[in-house]
């Protein structure tokens, strides 16, 4: 217990130190992260608050509308989505924390019971995998407390229900990881789990899309939908635990103190199961951990005949493709992209757009969305590609390879992927919407040029602001360089929504009351994109050639 | 209780068809420094893994201070000070925070813990980095922090896996002095190393592990006198590893 308290104090102190950075780079990194976080939370809070104000003005006017029934009908779907995401998210995190973490070989030789180690890692897995959901839900919980008549009761019931789902599903995911690692070695199990996780996120998004939320924009359909959800109470004899939790939360909104008992009961049950599993499965974890270490020793890769080296450029190209293909995030990203593609197809089929103006508007938005997706993927893969060289950067600096050639080859690989993705999304949307050929050609111009220049911008910024000591690609991207890179990429992506859509451009023209020269602006956009890419690459190249390189 | 600080009793470890350690029987009494040498893949890390509980023996048993690692793991580990070949330190903690945590794990607290931390900080020359984050420390300094945490609770048994890696000659000499002080007080040291000179000079006994078998074991004098080995540790090592002698058993050839 004393050690746990010391560890908690150390972690808290380390957290406080992180808030008081020493170097300019750390300060800039912290400022960028804080700014992004506060901006995101503010926008979310503002959106939810606006939605609440609108709903509280309109909904009471609907005949037969009852808030608690509305909540009781909506919350099960919310809890189900959270349950699926938590289970698969925790599966991925648990494979890393229970089997691949450097802490485990450090802790096992200490006089600490296996149950304590397992409980610690299990708790961390659940905490880490739930943190994105908690970050997203914090404004919702805050608004619930502010606007509810019985703030504490509503908040307590909601949080108890939320944490019971998080603990139970996180635990299920972590226990699944024990089984998965018995079948597949941990490093591969992490990739498989990441793919499952991405596919589950994709399935959740596709499921949400299938409910056709665009009906809310049609007044008649929206009233029907809301009345249906707010007037037919769910069965109180349901055996679905998520339904029971939803009912408890809904009753808490009306101020029923008895509603707290089922929520607290569920939380207590979840905590009990957590402790029991930590005790009961500790031996299983230790055995699986030892087996995974043995397999790491035993595994023999097939011996291939050494082949003659080809040209330097070809070898560099092959090495880049290997690095990208073996990146831990690649299978998960492929799963996510698949989901995006399905969503895209669903959007095109379900959206009620038949007229030329509607198609033009949707296709314009689609162009901007495609470049946003390219920017996000480049921030995950292209920007950190220099930083993730880690200590190898020291060795690479000594190699007789021109950094220009190395950067050019890396750019070719990353922009090839980006262009393929952008072209696939644009052509799919174009054909499904049956847009005219000139519109398709214009959109292709934007996404192809964006697919080439956005990776160049991110690669250049990644070389200019490398973080060779970052523990992983995501940490490398969460610095000032990543912030600047995504900022410039977004500045390129957003205008394409207007430039690829006559309707959006006309709207802008009417807003500023002056004509916008479409062709000139499109050419200017292209020139700006090329200039930004060239400048970024040049700065990055200069840093690769001359910047001091010192790693602890 | 057999009276030995470290005991391998016919301990074997197999990974599928591969036998990493074969019927290892080795007893190290209290107060001895034992050096385990062997080529890469000989089974040294496996032997250390069995002693730390990171691996379980396929057959046989392993004991520390009379406590079986299988049935009394916590008791065995409570007298163990371990330095792995690649030390793990929480990156965002400082050396002092790391030592305080390890001390708490070994049930140390209050003034006793504070004075031990100061002792080790001073001993391993960590004063100037005591409040710096571990992630900013050099490789050698991290190794010194790892050594400090192994010495903190005055263990009965020290397991050091390649302890000299990254240490400067001053720190190496200091470490040897500390180990000799500890063994004079009754502690036992098992160290694995590729530095044959170190094993020869520091180890009161040495063992040569090749292909999972302990092919030679004894003091430098015993190894020199033994009919089957006959020679300095470096000669014995190259001979048992199947590498022809370069010249008079020297570790490196004469150019």
Whether residue A439 is contained in a domain is answered as yes
Distance, in angstroms, between B250 CA and closest chain A CA?
Answer: 32
| Residue of B89, B101, B116 to mutate, interface with A, max A Cβ within 10 Å | B101
Shared-domain flag, residues A347 and A400: yes
Shared-domain flag, residues B118 and B137: yes
Q: Are B101 and A3 an interchain contact pair (Cβ–Cβ within 8 Å)?
A: yes
Residue of B nearest to A299 (CA): B15
Shared-domain flag, residues A397 and A347: yes
Residue B129 pLDDT greater than 90, yes or no: yes
The pLDDT, as a whole number, for residue A301 is 52
Shared-domain flag, residues B6 and B60: yes
| Residue of B62, B92, B152, B161 to mutate, interface with A, max A Cβ within 10 Å | B92
Positive or negative: CA dihedral A539, A541, A542, A543: positive
B18-28, strands of its sheet edge to edge? B18-28, B6-15, B59-64, B67-68
| Chain B residue numbers touching A552 (CB-CB < 8 A) | 135-139
Shared-domain flag, residues A345 and A453: yes
Q: Does B112 touch chain A (CB under 8 A)?
A: no
Residue A272 pLDDT greater than 90, yes or no: yes
Shared-domain flag, residues B7 and B72: yes
In the three-class reduction of DSSP (H, G, I as helix; E, B as strand; rest coil), residue B68 is classed as: strand
User: By the 8 A CB rule, do A45 and A142 touch?
Assistant: yes
Nearest 5 degrees, angle CA B188-CA B194-CA B195? Answer: 80
Shared-domain flag, residues A165 and A273: yes
Residue A227 pLDDT greater than 80, yes or no: no
Whether residue A222 is contained in a domain is answered as yes
Distances (CA, A) of B184 to A124, A434, B189: 43, 87, 11
User: By the 8 A CB rule, do B82 and B188 touch?
Assistant: no
Whether residue B240 is contained in a domain is answered as yes
Shared-domain flag, residues A348 and A221: no
Shared-domain flag, residues A263 and A167: yes
User: By the 8 A CB rule, do A409 and A326 touch?
Assistant: no
Shared-domain flag, residues B59 and B111: no
Q: What is the pLDDT of residues A463-520, one digit of tens each?
A: 998 888 787 888 888 878 888 899 999 999 999 998 998 888 888 888 888 888 888 9
Total domain count, chain B: 2
Average pLDDT on A444-448 reads 95
Shared-domain flag, residues A183 and A95: yes
Long-range contacts of B170-178 (CB under 8 A, 24+ apart): B171/B124, B171/B125, B171/B140, B171/B144, B174/B123, B174/B124, B174/B125, B175/B147, B176/B202, B178/B123, B178/B151
Q: Whole-angstrom Cα distance, residue B9 to residue B47? A: 12
Whether residue B22 is contained in a domain is answered as yes
Whether residue A303 is contained in a domain is answered as no
Total domain count, chain A: 2
User: Which domain, by its residues, includes B5?
Assistant: 1-78+194-255
Shared-domain flag, residues A326 and A277: no
Q: Are A109 and B53 an interchain contact pair (Cβ–Cβ within 8 Å)?
A: yes
Q: Does B137 touch chain A (CB under 8 A)?
A: yes
Distance, in angstroms, between A246 CA and closest chain B CA?
Answer: 40
The pLDDT, as a whole number, for residue B227 is 65
Residues 6+ apart with CB under 8 A from A314: none
| Residue of B12, B41, B104 to mutate, interface with A, max A Cβ within 10 Å | B104
User: By the 8 A CB rule, do B134 and B89 touch?
Assistant: yes
The pLDDT, as a whole number, for residue B248 is 56
Shared-domain flag, residues B223 and B207: yes
- Band (pLDDT 50/70/90 cuts) for residue B50 is very high
Average pLDDT on A305-312 reads 70
For chain B, the residue count is 255
Q: Does B109 touch chain A (CB under 8 A)?
A: yes
Distance, in angstroms, between A296 CA and closest chain B CA?
Answer: 10
Residue B247 pLDDT greater than 60, yes or no: no
Shared-domain flag, residues B143 and B202: no
Q: What average pLDDT is seen over chain A? A: 86
In the three-class reduction of DSSP (H, G, I as helix; E, B as strand; rest coil), residue A127 is classed as: helix
Residues of A engaging B, defined by a Cβ cutoff of 8 Å: 2-3, 5-7, 10-11, 13-14, 17-18, 102-103, 105-106, 108-114, 287, 290, 293-295, 297-298, 469, 471, 552
Q: Whole-angstrom Cα distance, residue A288 to residue A57? A: 57
Whether residue A475 is contained in a domain is answered as yes
Shared-domain flag, residues B62 and B92: no
Which of A247-251, B115-119, B242-246 reaches the highest mean pLDDT?
A: B115-119
| Chain A residue numbers touching B88 (CB-CB < 8 A) | 102-103, 105-106
In the three-class reduction of DSSP (H, G, I as helix; E, B as strand; rest coil), residue B161 is classed as: strand
Residues 6+ apart with CB under 8 A from A550: none
Q: Whole-angstrom Cα distance, residue A424 to residue B236? A: 66
Nearest to A111 among B74, B90, B100 (CB): B74
Shared-domain flag, residues B116 and B98: yes
CATH number at residue B3: 3.40.50.300
Nearest 5 degrees, angle CA A11-CA A13-CA A16? Answer: 110
Other residues' Cβ atoms within 10 Å of the Cβ of residue A523: 12
A33-37, A301-305, A445-449: the lowest-pLDDT one: A301-305
- Band (pLDDT 50/70/90 cuts) for residue B244 is low
Question: Final residue of a domain: which of B155, B178, B212?
Answer: B155
User: Which domain, by its residues, includes A160?
Assistant: 63-289
Nearest to B138 among A3, A13, A552 (CB): A552
Shared-domain flag, residues A427 and A396: yes
Shared-domain flag, residues B58 and B86: no
Shared-domain flag, residues A250 and A358: no
Positive or negative: CA dihedral A248, A250, A253, A255: negative
Question: How are beta strands B188-192 and B157-161 bridged, if at all?
Answer: parallel
Average pLDDT on B154-172 reads 93
Shared-domain flag, residues A218 and A366: no
User: By the 8 A CB rule, do B87 and B142 touch?
Assistant: yes
Q: What is the pLDDT of residues A94-136, one digit of tens each?
A: 999 999 888 899 999 999 999 999 999 999 999 999 998 899 8
Enter the tokens of residue B116.
Answer: 């031990």
Other residues' Cβ atoms within 10 Å of the Cβ of residue A552: 14
Q: Are B135 and A295 an interchain contact pair (Cβ–Cβ within 8 Å)?
A: no
| Chain B residue numbers touching A25 (CB-CB < 8 A) | none
The pLDDT, as a whole number, for residue A50 is 87
> Look-up: residue for tokens 């299983």?
A284
Whether residue A298 is contained in a domain is answered as no
């Amino acid at each position: 217990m004393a050690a746990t308290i010391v560890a908690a104090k150390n972690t808290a102190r380390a957290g406080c130190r992180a808030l008081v950075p020493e170097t300019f780079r750390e300060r800039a990194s912290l400022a960028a992260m804080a700014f992004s976080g506060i901006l995101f939370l503010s926008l979310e809070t503002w959106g939810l608050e606006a939605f609440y104000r609108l709903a509280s003005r309109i909904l009471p006017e609907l005949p037969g509308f009852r808030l608690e029934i509305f909540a009781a009908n909506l919350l099960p779907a919310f809890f189900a989505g959270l349950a699926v995401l938590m289970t698969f998210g925790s599966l991925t995190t648990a494979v890393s924390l229970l089997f691949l973490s450097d802490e485990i070989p450090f802790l096992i030789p200490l006089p600490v019971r296996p149950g304590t180690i397992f409980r610690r890692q299990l708790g961390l897995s659940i905490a880490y995998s739930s943190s994105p959901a908690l970050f997203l839900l914090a404004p919702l919980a805050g608004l619930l407390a502010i606007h509810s008549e019985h703030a504490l009761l509503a908040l307590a019931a909601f949080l108890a229900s939320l944490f019971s789902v998080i603990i139970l599903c996180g635990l299920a995911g972590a226990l699944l990881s024990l089984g998965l690692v018995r079948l597949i070695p941990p490093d591969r199990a992490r990739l498989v789990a990441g793919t499952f996780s991405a596919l589950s996120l994709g399935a959740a998004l596709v499921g949400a899309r299938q409910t056709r939320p665009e009906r809310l924009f049609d007044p008649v359909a929206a009233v029907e939908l809301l009345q249906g959800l707010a007037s037919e109470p769910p069965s109180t004899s349901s055996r679905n635990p998520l339904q029971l939790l939803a009912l408890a939360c809904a009753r808490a909104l009306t101020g029923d103190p008895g509603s707290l008992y089922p929520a607290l009961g569920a939380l207590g049950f979840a905590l009990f199961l957590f402790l029991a599993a930590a005790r009961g499965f500790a031996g299983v974890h230790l055995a699986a951990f030892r087996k995974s270490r043995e397999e790491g020793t035993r595994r023999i890769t097939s011996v291939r005949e050494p082949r003659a080296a080809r040209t330097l450029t070809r070898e560099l190209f092959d090495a880049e493709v290997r690095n990208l293909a073996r990146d831990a995030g690649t299978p998960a990203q492929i799963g996510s992209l698949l989901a995006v593609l399905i969503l895209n197809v669903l959007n095109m089929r379900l959206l009620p757009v038949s007229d030329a103006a509607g198609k033009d508007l949707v296709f314009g938005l689609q162009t901007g969305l495609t470049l946003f997706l390219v920017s996000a993927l480049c921030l995950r893969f292209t920007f950190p590609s220099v930083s993730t060289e880690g200590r190898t950067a020291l060795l690479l600096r000594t190699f007789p390879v021109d950094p220009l050639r190395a950067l050019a080859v890396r750019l070719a690989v990353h922009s090839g992927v980006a262009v393929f993705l952008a072209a696939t999304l644009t052509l799919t949307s174009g054909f499904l919407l049956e847009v005219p050929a000139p519109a398709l050609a214009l959109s292709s111009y934007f996404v192809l040029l964006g697919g080439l220049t956005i990776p160049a911008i991110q690669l250049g910024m990644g070389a200019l602001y490398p973080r060779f000591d970052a523990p992983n690609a995501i940490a490398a991207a969460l610095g000032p360089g990543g912030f600047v890179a995504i900022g410039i990429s977004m500045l390129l992506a957003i205008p394409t929504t207007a430039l690829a859509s006559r309707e959006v451009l006309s709207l802008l023209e009417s807003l500023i009351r002056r004509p916008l020269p479409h062709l000139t602006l499109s050419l200017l956009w292209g020139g700006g994109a090329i200039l930004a890419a060239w400048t970024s690459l040049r700065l990055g190249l200069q840093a690769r050639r001359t910047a001091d390189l010192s790693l602890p | 209780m057999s009276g030995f600080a470290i005991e391998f009793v016919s301990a074997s470890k197999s990974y599928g068809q591969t036998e990493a350690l074969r019927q290892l029987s080795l007893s190290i009494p209290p107060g001895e420094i034992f050096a385990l040498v062997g080529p890469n893949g000989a089974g040294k890390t496996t032997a250390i893994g069995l002693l730390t509980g990171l691996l379980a023996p396929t057959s046989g048993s392993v004991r520390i201070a009379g406590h079986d690692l299988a049935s009394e793991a916590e008791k065995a580990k409570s007298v163990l000070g371990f330095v792995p070949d690649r030390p793990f330190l929480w990156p965002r903690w400082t050396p002092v925070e790391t030592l305080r945590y390890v001390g708490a794990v070994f049930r140390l607290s209050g003034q006793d813990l504070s004075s031990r931390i100061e002792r080790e900080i001073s001993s391993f020359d960590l004063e100037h980095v005591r409040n710096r984050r571990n992630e900013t420390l050099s490789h050698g300094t991290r190794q010194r922090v790892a050594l400090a945490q192994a010495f903190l609770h005055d263990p009965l048994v020290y397991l050091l896996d390649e302890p000299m890696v990254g240490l400067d000659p001053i720190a190496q000499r200091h470490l040897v002095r500390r180990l000799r002080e500890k063994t004079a007080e009754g502690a036992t040291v098992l160290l694995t190393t590729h530095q044959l000179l170190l094993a020869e000079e520091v180890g009161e006994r040495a063992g040569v592990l090749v292909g999972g078998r302990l092919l030679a074991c004894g003091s430098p004098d015993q190894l020199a006198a033994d009919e089957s080995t006959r020679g300095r540790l470096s000669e014995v090592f190259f001979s048992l590893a199947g590498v022809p002698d370069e010249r008079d058993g020297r570790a490196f050839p004469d150019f």
